[in-house]
Structure 1
Amino acid sequence: MPHAPSWYAATAHPAPARPPLVGDVSSDVCIVGGGYTGLVTAIELAAKGMSVTILEAESVGWGASGRNGGQIVTGFNKGIGDIEGWVGKQDARHLWDLSEEAKTMLSDLIDRYGIDCDLKWGYLLAALKPRHMTSLAEHQGELEGLGYDKTRMVGRDEIRSMVATDAYLGGLFDGGSGQLHPLNYALGLAVAAEGLGVRIHEGSRVVRIDTGAAPKAFTATGSVSAKFLVLAGNAYLGDLSPPIRAKVMPAGTYIIGTEKMEAERAQALIPSGIAIADVNFVLNYYRRSPDNRFLFGGGVSYSGFDRPDLKQSLRRTMLKYFPQLADVGVEFCWGGHVAITMNRMPHLGRVSPTTYFAQGYSGHGVALTAIAGRVIAEAIAGQAGRFDIFARVPHRAFPGPPGLKMPALVLGMLWYRLQDWL
């Protein structure tokens, strides 16, 4: 089950072969999905003394966990004001605190288990238009109101010293956001989980689940009987649970990686080495790799189809911002699906008293998967208070029958693209 042909896969640490599930086994908890959510949940449960089995359809980190932009972003996809409107001021504050705990958890997991994944802090939200600067200033004010003091506004002159493009009017620097090698982070979590006794079966696609009083997951070659079941497939869960699938939509996101450059030339593009994203609705995000490549992402798609000229399209966009890379070739091009929700907030809940799920991180999953795993483990262990705060966030199904959901979303996306262009 090879990973997408990405720069991440080309620079991934060696991973042991994990055989498929064969036969019928039992475990305290069975987790469907070997990405960040499933792995962190497993680590947290194993630390509480529970036996855990993970069933992964492909390979550890095969989905969004091993393909994403590797950017660790503060908070949620929505501002605290929107969240207060859904759950009230007190729970909104709790959710903010949990999102901050997620970043601390991520750092602690990497330190505790010695995960080599190029973790680096520092992040820049870049403004292309005056209204972006206004929006970023408002965002900073909201963060300061929460007691978050790791941001500062930067003007045109300073931003040119941070990134080698004339495209931006300024931006918001966040010292509490950052970047990592996403696939190596996932692989490191798997090793940590196995060290705690977790069993991981790759090539073990779950074809059916029983979510009753004695939950069970079935593959083509075996089954796992458990006391609890956790659905952690996110955009790749398929039709195992139609009610929760209806509340997320897979969104394609894509990245190119250039050829290696001389160190001095690569470093001049982003002297500080921070991760950067603009604040268009259809955003572009990029960073410099440790081996002196430029990793440039964007081109979100809701159609379910990849553009045939994807590599060329992303390269053209990159050259709009960095024309000095015109003579540098593109060596890697890859993509994958993340799951978005209607309100762009993570969707956590229960299918039944024995079956939990987490999905729909809407672009903030590198960090938020950590806290999702922790609160699921707490709930399974009998302390559901923090899990239930997430579960109180209201979520609606995407409108329309299955065949019309994506076309409707594509039309909506065209409206936001028009706003970006204007």
Structure 2
Amino acid sequence: MTDPAHIDSFYAATMTEAPARPPLEGKAEAEVCVIGGGLAGLTTARELAAAGRSVVLVEGARVGWAASGRNGGFVSPGYAEGIDAIEDKLGYEHARALWDLSVEGVDYVRGAIDELKPAGVDPVPGWLKVIRYDDADGLKRRAETMATRYGHPRDFWPTEHVRETLRTNTYFQGLHDTTAFHIHPLNYALALAADAEAKGARICEGTPAQRLDRGRAGWIVETPQGTVSARDVVLSGSAYPPNLWRQIDRAVLPIATYVIVTEPMADRLAESIRFGGCIGDTRRASDYYRIVEDGRLLWGGRITTRRSEPAHLAQMLKRDILAIYPQLGDFRVEFAWGGLMGYAVHKMPLIGRIGEGLWACTAFGGHGLNTTAIGGSLIARAIAGGDDTWKRFRPYRPLWGGGSLGRAATQLIYWKLQFLDALEERRARRGDDSA
């Protein structure tokens, strides 16, 4: 059984009060059993309960224990796969429909926060995406494409504006998305859980699903101390799959990323980072960061397929920070943690029906806060009302991820992308020095 306690992180240290929910004991019956208490599962349960369906959600550890309570907290439209690649595969009309759904996911998160007014979620607006090489014309074209073809304008920032705001010569131009924002993701997950329960859902923590079988009128989910009988089952386990359904388990690749949070240093940060929203670069393996409460810097980055946490994680990311902002000087890292994200090989979420009464709502790695919202909402609408909007995701089927060979291939691809980033940035530095 998974350790039921939340990991030692900044989010766990600042989480709102959330008493542990008792595990499932004995037999339970419901119209729907949701497996997994992350944002996807919680959204699904919340929406099904709001529609009047009886729901039991089983979670092996605590609500928000995995990636949903460990991520960077950025809420923005889009997917881990780029919209250009989606359009190349599916054509403009289909790509635009998927883009609009991603925007709907952002609106869902914003609407839930407005409705619930949860303590400690603290949304802060704005996302600044910066590039590490000089390409003003290319970035302007990108802004125009997103505005005209996808109805999503972004403000172009020239190099002078970027460097006045972020005091480093690492970055050149940027695009500012005023619709994006950042939040405390674990407190948001806890708020969704409390509201799902208020609407009638039952949430059982410390209850890993161990077996999934067909029953006479649906499915039977076996747990260590009980069973759930349900007409429909939703699999939302992501990078920590419970090994219940081979088709999904084999399709989700676990990819690790890391986050640190510094000691309070508001004065130093105010001189270097004059932007309160989300900040990220367009590297193939990007850094992402934001200022959080008490004047701390939350910084995420690095991607690997290794499951073990690096021995010197804090120092590794601290070096990444100082490579961009050396003027911050020495500082103490007070929190450092890692987590596994679930990716499909096509980098799109797995959303939809995979069998009679069996649904997938998983693989949200790399871009999860908005996509878990729309995924959970679409699955709930399908089960409760027969809505078939989920079929927009049908082209992205659960393909085999390659197992250990797939993880090795992914790691090789990541190293190649790092090398290409380094080449691109070296050329940019040479040009900047010449200028």
The answer, yes or no, to whether TM exceeds 0.5 is yes
TM-score with structure 2 setting the length: 0.92
User: Is 1:353 aligned to 2:356, yes or no?
Assistant: yes
Q: Distance in 2 between matches of 1:308 and 1:359?
A: 30
User: Is 1:385 aligned to 2:388, yes or no?
Assistant: yes
| Residue matched to 1:310 | 313
CA contact (8 A) 2:248 2:398 kept: no
More divergent stretch after superposition (140-149 vs 307-316): 140-149
Identity of aligned residues (%): 38
User: Is 1:259 aligned to 2:272, yes or no?
Assistant: no
CA 1:325 to 1:238, structure 2 compared with 1: closer, same or farther past 3 Å?
farther
Where does the alignment leave 5 or more consecutive residues of structure 2 unmatched? 424-435
CA contact (8 A) 1:121 1:178 kept: yes
Find the partner of 1:166 among 154, 157, 169: 169
CA contact (8 A) 1:55 1:206 kept: yes
Q: Distance in 2 between matches of 1:138 and 1:56?
A: 45
Q: CA deviation at 1:96?
A: 1.3
1:371-417 C-alpha deviation (Å, 9 max, x unpaired):
11111011112423211112233453223xx2322222211211111
More divergent stretch after superposition (116-125 vs 235-244): 235-244
Find the partner of 1:218 among 197, 204, 222: 222
CA contact (8 A) 1:211 1:354 kept: no
Q: CA deviation at 1:309?
A: 1.6
CA contact (8 A) 1:6 1:334 kept: yes
Q: What letter matches 2:40 in structure 1?
A: T
**Within-5 A mapping of 1:22-37:** 22-37=25-40
CA 1:271 to 1:118, structure 2 compared with 1: closer, same or farther past 3 Å?
same
Where does the alignment leave 5 or more consecutive residues of structure 1 unmatched? none
- Pairs aligned (count): 418
Q: What letter matches 2:417 in structure 1?
A: Y
| Residue matched to 2:285 | 282
| Residue matched to 2:430 | none
1:42-100 C-alpha deviation (Å, 9 max, x unpaired):
11111110111110000000000000011112212233332233333332221111111
| Residue matched to 2:248 | 244
Q: CA deviation at 1:152?
A: 1.3
Q: What letter matches 1:221 in structure 2?
A: Q
CA contact (8 A) 1:87 1:393 kept: no
SS at match of 2:207: coil
| Residue matched to 2:400 | 397
Quote the RMSD (CA, aligned, Å): 1.7
**Within-5 A mapping of 1:405-420:** 405-420=406-421
TM-score with structure 1 setting the length: 0.95
Q: CA deviation at 1:149?
A: 4.2
SS at match of 2:52: coil
More divergent stretch after superposition (306-315 vs 103-112): 306-315
Q: Distance in 1 between matches of 2:214 and 2:156?
A: 49
SS at match of 1:226: strand
CA contact (8 A) 1:30 1:229 kept: yes
CA 1:339 to 1:152, structure 2 compared with 1: closer, same or farther past 3 Å?
same
CA 1:311 to 1:191, structure 2 compared with 1: closer, same or farther past 3 Å?
same
SS at match of 1:3: coil
Q: CA deviation at 1:227?
A: 1.1
